[in-house]
């Protein structure tokens, strides 16, 4: 081949190769640069949150933040004002967050799991094709809509039921927010669990059915135990969602930092406090605004931790049956 080629042609080819090579390199560079945006975003989140949080911890000691039982972030307007140095204990916010998440999970877990089991094991393909997208619709509704629903529809109903039974329930209660958040979480649990149940090998079911077990017995005694790790993973993902959820609690949970486990009282959450600290009038550099970043850092660590554990569990489970 090369023998028949003239020298100039050879040169031209080599030249062309060089320019295409350059082009390839440039394109590869652009591609790498754009994938670095994701890393930069993470870095930006971690750096900005930690930077502001460290400035906060210069004013308020870390131990007071982590273990303090009082949350009242008002800072003094005058230097000599009494009792307004602000208390920045995150415990009431954490319990509020966990209480609402717990209520949400109590609602979402049975509904999501039973739906998943029915859809995966019993439903005809036609029913499944209808019901699954409808359930997933619940996940597509903006959270501000859930918040409105919780504050203006569910909370008055709960209040009305409470006064009917002789209880005095505050109009902003952990119950309303948790209940509605639970509805939002149903599809997260049902679709992930559905996938997980479908991944259980058919051979396990066949063996159990062959031994004379009914379908329900097969599911509760064989399929679900086999799928447990994956289901745990999906529940953890849902919890992480619940902890980071903002709009529902901002609109329905309340602002008062009560250290209480009573679901009919108003509690506040970490996300609610971030929003209240950073909207409205804010002076930057005050402990009050910086506190929001400290809470956000805590929130990020919590959700990411849960997420990493959940993904690990699901991953290991998938590998087991792959």
Least distance to another protein, CB of residue 117, Å: 6
Q: Which is nearer to another protein, 28 or 316 (CB)?
A: 28
DSSP string, 109-161: HHHHHHHHHIIIII--HHHHHHHHHHHHHHHHS-HHHHHHHIIIIIHHHHHHH
Least distance to another protein, CB of residue 63, Å: 24
Contact criterion met (CB below 8 Å) for 96 and 267: yes
Other Cβ atoms within 10 Å of 167 Cβ, number: 11
Closest of 109, 144, 118 to residue 234, by C-alpha: 109
Q: Residue 186, interface with another protein (CB under 8 A)?
A: yes
* Candidate segments 68-76, 98-106, 108-116, 254-262, binder of another protein by CB under 8 A: 108-116
Q: Residue 98, interface with another protein (CB under 8 A)?
A: no
Work out which of 66, 87, 224, 304 binds another protein, going by CB under 8 A: 304
Work out which of 34, 83, 124, 319 binds another protein, going by CB under 8 A: 34
Q: Which is nearer to another protein, 13 or 69 (CB)?
A: 13
Q: Which is nearer to another protein, 220 or 228 (CB)?
A: 220
User: Segment 279-298, which members bind another protein (CB under 8 A)?
Assistant: 279, 284, 292-293, 296
Contact criterion met (CB below 8 Å) for 68 and 90: yes
DSSP string, 23-91: HHHHHHHHHHHHHHHHHHHHHHHHHHHHHHHHHHHHHS-HHHHHH---EE-PPPSSTT-SS-S-EE--H
Q: Residue 149, interface with another protein (CB under 8 A)?
A: yes
Write the CA distances from 108 to 12, 103, 186, 291, integer angstroms: 68, 9, 5, 32
* Candidate segments 83-91, 203-211, 221-229, 304-312, binder of another protein by CB under 8 A: 304-312
Query: What value, to the nearest 5°, has the Cα angle with vertex 227 and ends 223 and 229?
Result: 155
Work out which of 49, 155, 235, 266 binds another protein, going by CB under 8 A: 49
User: Segment 60-79, which members bind another protein (CB under 8 A)?
Assistant: none
Work out which of 135, 222, 223, 257 binds another protein, going by CB under 8 A: 135
Q: Residue 226, interface with another protein (CB under 8 A)?
A: no
């Amino acid at each position: 081949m090369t023998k028949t080629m003239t020298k100039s042609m050879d040169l031209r080819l080599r030249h062309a190769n060089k320019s295409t090579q350059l082009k390839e390199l440039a394109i590869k560079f652009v591609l790498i640069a754009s994938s670095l945006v994701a890393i930069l975003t993470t870095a930006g989140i971690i750096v900005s949150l930690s930077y502001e949080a460290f400035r906060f911890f210069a004013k308020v000691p870390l131990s007071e933040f982590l273990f303090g039982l009082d949350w009242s972030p008002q800072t003094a307007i005058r230097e000599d004002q009494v009792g307004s140095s602000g208390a920045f204990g995150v415990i009431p916010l954490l319990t509020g967050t966990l209480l609402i998440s717990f209520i949400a999970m109590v609602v979402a877990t049975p509904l999501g799991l039973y739906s998943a089991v029915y859809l995966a094991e019993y439903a005809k393909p036609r029913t499944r094709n209808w019901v699954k997208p409808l359930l997933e619709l619940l996940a597509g509704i903006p959270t501000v809509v859930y918040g409105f629903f919780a504050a203006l529809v569910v909370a008055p109903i709960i209040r009305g039921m409470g006064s009917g039974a002789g209880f005095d329930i505050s109009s902003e209660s952990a119950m309303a927010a948790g209940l509605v958040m639970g509805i939002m979480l149903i599809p997260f649990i049902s679709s992930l669990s559905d996938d997980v149940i479908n991944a259980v090998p058919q051979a396990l079911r066949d063996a159990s059915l062959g031994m004379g077990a009914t379908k329900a017995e097969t599911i509760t005694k064989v399929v679900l135990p086999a799928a447990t790790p994956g289901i745990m993973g999906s529940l953890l993902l849902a919890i992480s969602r619940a902890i980071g959820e903002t709009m529902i609690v901002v609109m329905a949970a309340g602002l008062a930092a009560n250290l209480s486990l009573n679901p009919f009282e108003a509690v506040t959450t970490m996300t609610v406090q971030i929003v209240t600290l950073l909207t409205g009038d804010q002076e930057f550099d005050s402990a009050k605004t910086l506190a929001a970043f400290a809470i956000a850092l805590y929130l990020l660590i919590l959700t990411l931790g849960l997420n990493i554990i959940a993904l690990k569990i699901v991953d290991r489970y998938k590998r087991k049956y792959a």
